[in-house]
Structure 1
Amino acid sequence: MGGTIAKGGGDAPRELSRAEQVDAATPDSRNRVVDLLRAAAITVVVLGHWTIIAVSADGGIQPHGVLDRASWTHPLTWIFQVMPIFFLVGGYSNALSWRSARRKGLGYAPWLRARLRRLGLPLIPLLLAWLGISAIGLAAGAPEATLQLATQMALVPTWFLAAYLLVILVAPACFVLWERLGWFSILAGIVLAGAVDAVSIVADAPLLGYPNYLLVWASFHQVGVAWLDGRLSGPWRRLTLVGVGLLGLGVLVGPGPYPVSMITAGTDEISNSSPTRVTMAFLGMAQAGIVLLLERPLAAWLRRPRVWFVTVLVNQRIMSWFLWHLTALVGLAHLLLALDARVLLPEPLSGIWWATRPLWCLALLILTGMMVLAVGRVESPRPDPRPDAPLAQSLAAAIAICAGLAIMADAGMVGPGGLQWAWPLLTLAGLASLLLRPRRSRAVPTA
């Protein structure tokens, strides 16, 4: 897209820069802060993972090494655990998309399939790559435990996708509850999540807490809808949201039994994030209130063409950055460990270790960027001109994808018996079904 702009005083028009073109093409109705928060959240997640995962010549890869070694870092997770922000912007975006689909006369089935395609298709190259790596590694005699940890770490980001897709499945029903019950729809979900937590913690059975992957995030997802509907306008409402979030965290974390760290640490008996606990909803409220208090200055800042251009670029490949950033870390870590490159693997938390973190993150940024360049096009699927698939097919695809991702995010692809084919193939089958539809002529938008 090209363009020119005339300068004042009769000067010759000049060619618009790419950033100015993107800025000019963005509708005034678009809430740019939503895109910024999504991009900022993914940046925090990526840099956070690259920092808290410790790699040393003697200890190997330690998934939560920094948190396990330094308890003083636990309060910092209230800042760096930003998954609630994803669900905040998800609630806003999904409600906007759903209402747009309804105005166009589109139903649940095409809307669901469009969301699944947008989020799910970038998984295909990641899963195929790790299936190949695992099969070749096992054939070459690599220890099963090593490959299990490698695949588990590389696929950690998929737990978020599993939870997010579950929320998308029930989102239209949640929107109806919001329209009828308002804030009570959020309160009811949090109360139910608290009850699930109580049963899980008292019984010392984390598995009983798994329903909260849906209850907590679906409830907090509604806060994004409240933002869209103007129910969080004004500083006092946003300050109230911050206060409720901090009060809830204080009550739950102070007397206990919930730990301070919002990211799983090996030193904690209970995890706030695995499974998701009700504390995450209160953390989300505090974070949402704070970022929404900054909405006006952020919106003004995003009117700068270069700032908006960078935000758009990050969002265009956001799923690829998110899905591949730990593959880059696992690959680089194993290369350095295989070479016994001790000079490049200083003792975690030492002075030299902290001093070299920027270089470590830069190296991983370059590696991840190369991967994104190679596979990022999958994130922009072509419009599908074929008719709607049956709703049952989309639901079955979503369930297969969520089930496979949940297992792999927890256990990886390799187990005591070798390569666990069932879970990656189940996920890939669900993803493949998103591409298989009878050919006819009616167009289906990819909202």
Structure 2
Amino acid sequence: MTTTRQSRAEKVDAATPASRNRVVDFLRAAAITVVVLGHWTIIAVDPDGGILPHGALDGARWTHPLTWVFQVMPIFFLVGGYSNGLSWRSARRKEIGYAEWLRTRLRRLGIPLIPLLLTWLVIGVVAVALGAPHATVQLVSQMALIPTWFLAAYLMVILVAPPCLVLWEWFGWWSIVGGIALAGAVDAVSLVADQPLLGYPNYLLVWAAFHQVGYAWLDGRLAGSGRRLLLAAIGLVGLLLLVLVGPYPVSMITSAADEISNSSPTRVTMAFLGMMQAGLVLLLEKPLTALLRRPRLWLVTVLVNQRIMTWFLWHLTVMVGLAHLLLALDARALLPEPLTGLWWATRPLWVLALLALTGLVVLVMGRFESPRADERPAPPVWKPILAAVTVIAGLAVMANVGVVGESGVTWWWPLLPVVGMVGSEVLCARWERTD
């Protein structure tokens, strides 16, 4: 068995082009893994009060500074900038147009999403029909669909990635400075008016601006320890000023203990957090590159990336499912009071149980990450754009309100992305077959 595993690892290692930056793949897998483990730790289950969405953050303020390390969504956008820049430049060389390029990206992200949305639509309908309280079903579905807010934001950035790459090629670092300055202005208006809704444009502005740091990495504009340390220092100083002098809270993840959230809507603090994290992480690029030449470590990285969407999309569905099963069984011995010594001591066991259950889901649902190649002619440009807009709209709403409202199941929101992708021919009219 060991020989077989080693042989497979060596084959994957040998088949990897020498030009591939393995650190990009490793950081993508590591960032999503940290997000998953963080969600499983932060979200608590009270045997008397049910699911507490930000239990650890709400009840233990000492955890707030730790979010500067564990809020790693900026790293995913850093990696996305590198990958999208590389992909779009390759498309330009091959004379592949924006519409075909965007359709390919949408298929990669959208096809694994469909089973999750349909599953939660069915759960919502069945739960309401059986008399479950609407508020309970709404909270459960909202918690399970938290990953979709990130996907909505990432799709917005993908939509503008090619023009943003042009801005980067023309104006360099000034294109990033301009984007962050504009995001700061949006924040100022939102905070002065005390209207979080006015800050929602920053889901695009902040992440699109920081996404371009990935272009800088790709183009060698962050080569050398000096530039990477400078980037980290700018991020750290900016964060300290915004938190200590400005109105922003310490926690980079939403907490009910704070009047303002740094992540809902996205605030300009996230761009500075990203710069700090990117600078520090990229200082490790050389040793990571050396480590990833080890076939077994590289094989693990490849395997995680092959099923990364399934792993990310389903991890909270598994958690809320297990939590409500234990609540229904009144299994208090397995649900210690949150934030007690016993609760912290049992977190590793909780995580291991969720890892095992999520692994089973990945085995079943992971096939949707391997659709057959799309050999159709390039579509009209409006079709993939329309599909992206419908996906973003549906996911953005569900991330905030779940699939159930006061009047019942809001079935149109989970169906909107599906209908949009099928109607715009991002997906075939029949169900996609996989390899």
Same fold (TM over 0.5): yes
1:150 corresponds to 2:125: no
Q: 1:246 is matched by which residue type in structure 2?
A: L
1:195 corresponds to 2:185: yes
Counterpart in the other structure of 2:240: 250
Counterpart in the other structure of 1:352: 342
Counterpart in the other structure of 2:301: 311
1:410–1:370 distance in 2 versus 1, CA, 3 Å: same
- What do the CA deviations read for 1:141-199 (whole angstroms, capped 9, x no partner)? 11111100011001000000000000000110000000000000000000000000000
Counterpart in the other structure of 1:114: 104
Q: 2:366 is matched by which residue type in structure 1?
A: G
* Cα contact 2:102–2:159 (8 A) shared by 1: yes
In the TM superposition, 1:12-411 aligns within 5 A as 17-411=7-401
1:112–1:344 distance in 2 versus 1, CA, 3 Å: same
- Give me the TM-score of the superposition, normalised by structure 2: 0.96
- What do the CA deviations read for 1:236-277 (whole angstroms, capped 9, x no partner)? 000000000001001100113000000000010000000000
* Cα contact 1:162–1:402 (8 A) shared by 2: yes
- Aligned counterparts of 1:377 and 1:33: Cα–Cα separation in 2: 25
Q: 2:186 is matched by which residue type in structure 1?
A: V
- Aligned counterparts of 1:237 and 1:59: Cα–Cα separation in 2: 49
1:326, distance to aligned residue in structure 2 (A): 0.1
- Aligned counterparts of 2:79 and 2:6: Cα–Cα separation in 1: 31
SS in 2 for 1:17: helix
1:435, distance to aligned residue in structure 2 (A): 4.2
Q: Which runs of 5+ in 2 are unaligned?
A: 431-435
- State the identity as a percent: 74
Counterpart in the other structure of 2:433: none
* Cα contact 1:387–1:437 (8 A) shared by 2: no
- Give me the TM-score of the superposition, normalised by structure 1: 0.94
- Aligned counterparts of 2:429 and 2:172: Cα–Cα separation in 1: 40
- Aligned counterparts of 1:287 and 1:84: Cα–Cα separation in 2: 8
SS in 2 for 1:174: helix
* Cα contact 2:180–2:209 (8 A) shared by 1: yes
SS in 2 for 1:55: strand
Q: 2:417 is matched by which residue type in structure 1?
A: T
- What do the CA deviations read for 1:13-59 (whole angstroms, capped 9, x no partner)? x9961000000000110000000000000110000000000101112
Number of aligned pairs?
A: 427
Q: 1:423 is matched by which residue type in structure 2?
A: W
SS in 1 for 2:204: helix
1:394, distance to aligned residue in structure 2 (A): 0.7
Counterpart in the other structure of 1:430: 420
- Aligned counterparts of 1:155 and 1:248: Cα–Cα separation in 2: 31
- What do the CA deviations read for 1:405-442 (whole angstroms, capped 9, x no partner)? 00000110000010001211111112323445699xxx
SS in 1 for 2:371: coil
- Aligned counterparts of 1:256 and 1:387: Cα–Cα separation in 2: 52
* Cα contact 1:386–1:438 (8 A) shared by 2: no
* Cα contact 1:324–1:368 (8 A) shared by 2: yes
Which has the greater radius of gyration?
A: 1
Q: 1:130 is matched by which residue type in structure 2?
A: W
SS in 2 for 1:61: strand
* Cα contact 1:189–1:219 (8 A) shared by 2: yes
* Cα contact 2:65–2:251 (8 A) shared by 1: yes
- Aligned counterparts of 1:264 and 1:435: Cα–Cα separation in 2: 34
Q: Which runs of 5+ in 1 are unaligned?
A: 5-13, 440-447
SS in 2 for 1:277: coil
- Aligned counterparts of 2:46 and 2:292: Cα–Cα separation in 1: 41
1:417–1:295 distance in 2 versus 1, CA, 3 Å: same
